[in-house]
Amino acid sequence: MALGKLPLGERILLTGVTGQVGGELWKTLKSLGDVVAPERATMDLANAGSVRETIRSVRPRWIVNPGAYTAVDKAESEPELAYAINAEAVRVIGEEARALGAGVIHFSTDYVFDGLGNKPYAETDATGPVSVYGASKLAGEKALRDSGAAHMIFRTSWVYGTRGRNFLLTILKLARERETLRIVADQYGAPTWSRDLARMTAHVIGRSEADAQTTGFETATQDASGVYHAAGGGETTWFGFAAEALQLQYEMEPGVRLAAVEAIPTDQYPTPAKRPLNSRLNCSKLTQRFGWTMMDWRNSLREVLAEI
- 132 in helix, strand or coil? helix
Q: Which residue in the list 133, 160, 188, 228 is annotated as catalytic? A: 133
Instruction: Name residues whose C-beta falls within 8 Å of residue 278's C-beta, 6 or more positions apart in sequence.
Output: 113, 115, 116, 117, 118, 119, 121, 187, 188, 189
Q: Which residues pair with 63 in a beta bridge?
A: 13, 104
CA-closest candidate to residue 278, choices 89, 115, 101, 54: 115
CA-closest candidate to residue 45, choices 91, 79, 109, 10: 91
20 within 8 A of 196, measured Cβ to Cβ? no
Q: Which residues pair with 64 in a beta bridge?
A: 14, 105
Annotated catalytic, 133?
yes
What are the residue numbers of the active site?
133
